[in-house]
Structure 1
């Protein structure tokens, strides 16, 4: 399928982001450029309440942002990890998506401001993600959430963290996770797949950019083979929470996302996959701006509501 015309317009706007050669690029420079050149996104939705707080972790305290929808009673909850290649992104960069998910699901969304690379390399981001999940599970009464409807989710690098906390929760017999929502997840550090060759230049996320992200995230190449780094490297993917995976056709990560969908299914897990052939990486950030992003949000929310109804 051809690239969605609105996505092409977005790529044209991204053309203003001129990065130095990757060998000269620093995380600080990339963050400044990404923030300065960020395309204006759709108007954020209004929720009933937004609050920031610090929670304890094994490292420094972790900043989280809680989004509470206009809904009464005990709510489902979604612990959400933002994307950005483990280097970029923060609570503000994904504020619009978290608000929309909170309203759409009628759920408390807890967005996690995990430590970023290269200042804090693997496993710092994962450790923060795990500590945040445990904190939410331990405070269900205070937060007025239903422990049987506790979900995790994320996009790109954040989806990597979500997938990995599901693995650790299984290995540690809890916390119990009802569902995992993975938008175009980073599943592996293998950049030789066909989608990297076919979509690795000119479609926002590029092969060399992804290589640079991995170089920032890993302290050493062998870290990629350690538990809870690359979910596709896990030998056992059985007994995991039901999953909803969203994949874009013009995304270098497409093939690893499809491979993860296949392996989850073969391991006996319930998997609902939604593929948008005309979409680029990161397109969920542009809800309220791109029709295909809005469609994907609605279809994702429907899938999660159907899954939650079983709990």
Structure 2
């Protein structure tokens, strides 16, 4: 287990598989390469008690979900994990380590969602699929061995989708969540000054019919009042740290403790490295303790 990101990254680079670039590769080729890259971070996965894959009905067709059980004791609290990968990549397998580690560290059932990817599908499809999964789990708690209100746990693009879903639920007067754990969100939306990849990501997510300043699609342009408790984690070396800080400022402005932790020397996407980078594992464990507090306070 490495204590510094550069050491862990150098060791991973020996695999010879690099992160994909959808701006210079055909999209499907980039997705395949990105999946191979993710799998280099998913070696020697920790054992869990049970994994169950299901297909559930959703607003745009069936939604694949994966339930990760850390132990057989039930009923158990649960969380919904929403992956990042820029809205365009990733799968139920790409973040296998994160989901398993979350389950083992928290003692909760983790439900991962294989939401539809951009640009094949645009906002609000992804947000609405999260809400559909939330409703499904609530209706099936007894048969699934889970209970209570869940936490939405999102990282990167997944954190943005989680925040957007929480705002939509609030607008429906639906008090369905115990809280939000958001790692390095990109919820500030399209930025003309951002690097080309970041601009591309948001253009693909929004599609041609959603304005760049749409407040429902871009959570930090909307209201943050009336939301469940929020905790944020971000690396000090993350180029998207401004979005985390902006949400913190917005919460503070309305009298809410922003609950944000900046982790030194960590880049964007560091949760993927919990198998080889001790500070990443420590950050995940810290978020788990906060999540347990959300459950206790419910």
Q: By how many angstroms is 1:64 displaced?
A: 0.3
Is 2:73 the partner of 1:72? yes
Structure 1 residues 50 and 122: CA distance shift in structure 2, 3 A: same
Structure 1 residues 268 and 15: CA distance shift in structure 2, 3 A: farther
Among 274, 277, 288, the alignment partner of 2:261 is 274
Distance 2:280 2:19 in 1: 25
Matching of residues 84-163 of structure 1 within 5 Å: 84-147=85-148, 149-163=149-163
Structure 2: runs of 5 or more not aligned: none
Specify the alignment match of 1:29 in structure 2: 29
Q: By how many angstroms is 1:262 displaced?
A: 1.9
Q: In 1, are the aligned partners of 2:41 and 2:275 still within 8 Å (CA)?
A: no
TM-score of the superposition, structure 2-length normalised? 0.90
Q: By how many angstroms is 1:164 displaced?
A: 0.9
Distance 1:41 1:306 in 2: 29
Structure 1: runs of 5 or more not aligned: 197-206
Normalized per residue, which structure has more strand? 1
Matching of residues 223-234 of structure 1 within 5 Å: 223-234=211-222
Q: By how many angstroms is 1:303 displaced?
A: 1.8
Question: Match of 1:250, SS?
Answer: coil
TM-score of the superposition, structure 1-length normalised? 0.86
Specify the alignment match of 2:170 in structure 1: 170
Distance 1:11 1:88 in 2: 20
Q: By how many angstroms is 1:237 displaced?
A: 1.0
Q: By how many angstroms is 1:133 displaced?
A: 1.5
Q: By how many angstroms is 1:7 displaced?
A: 5.4
Q: After superposition, what is the alpha-carbon deviation per residue over 1:154-195, rounded to whole angstroms, capped at 9, x for unaligned?
A: 1111111111111111111115201101111111224357xx
Q: In 2, are the aligned partners of 1:77 and 1:150 still within 8 Å (CA)?
A: yes
Q: In 2, are the aligned partners of 1:152 and 1:179 still within 8 Å (CA)?
A: yes
Question: Match of 1:225, SS?
Answer: coil
Matching of residues 297-308 of structure 1 within 5 Å: 297-308=284-295
Question: Match of 1:109, SS?
Answer: strand
Structure 1 residues 146 and 33: CA distance shift in structure 2, 3 A: same
Q: By how many angstroms is 1:240 displaced?
A: 0.6
Structure 1 residues 77 and 223: CA distance shift in structure 2, 3 A: farther
Is 2:246 the partner of 1:259? yes
Q: By how many angstroms is 1:213 displaced?
A: 1.3
The alignment covers a number of residue pairs equal to: 294
Where in structure 1 do 4 or more consecutive aligned residues deviate above 6 Å? none
Distance 2:28 2:107 in 1: 36
Distance 1:133 1:21 in 2: 31
Q: In 2, are the aligned partners of 1:151 and 1:180 still within 8 Å (CA)?
A: yes
Distance 2:229 2:19 in 1: 40
Q: In 2, are the aligned partners of 1:7 and 1:279 still within 8 Å (CA)?
A: no
Among 189, 198, 206, the alignment partner of 1:210 is 198
Q: In 1, are the aligned partners of 2:85 and 2:156 still within 8 Å (CA)?
A: yes
